Amino acid sequence: MKNILILCTGNSCRSQMAQGYLQKFYGNRASVYSAGIETHGLNPKAVAVMLEDGVDISGHTSNHVDEYKDIDFNFIITVCDHANENCPFIPSKGAVRMHHNFSDPSKLKGTEGEIHAAFIATRNEIKEYCREFAANN
């Protein structure tokens, strides 16, 4: 079984969405974790847009990367430039490190409709990335 870590800055939005999709696409073929270099709590808008697509992440927690220091990961995926640039050393033997910077919809200012649309756009981009990742790894 593969161990996959999704790493973001605050583990509140993008990494949580990626964890939800990778769990969906891998099923019981992988253990998927998400963490942040900080913890900001689960973003309710991320939970809502994921539920709109049939993926319930409401039970996820915001975790610090240090909580997983004893897990030997096969893949470590950073989903924002800040986490990629500030990623602490994670002692996994032979972990493949990957990076894809997804836009952060939680930083957008605008109407509720514009913010919701930004969350959907990020969710859909993450979904496609995760679908392709699971198909090829």
Please, what sign has the CA dihedral across residues 41, 47, 48, 49? positive
**Catalytic-residue membership of 130:** no
The yes-or-no answer on residue 80 being catalytic is yes
- Catalytic site residue 8? yes
127 sits in which H/E element = helix 112-136
Catalytic residue among 80, 83, 118, 130: 80
Q: How far apart are CA 3 and CA 74, in angstroms?
A: 5
Q: How far is CA 2 from CA 14, 23, 49, 124, 132, in A?
A: 21, 11, 27, 24, 16
The one catalytic residue among 4, 8, 35, 76? 8
Given 87, 98, 115, 121, the catalytic residue? 87
Positions marked catalytic: 8, 80, 87
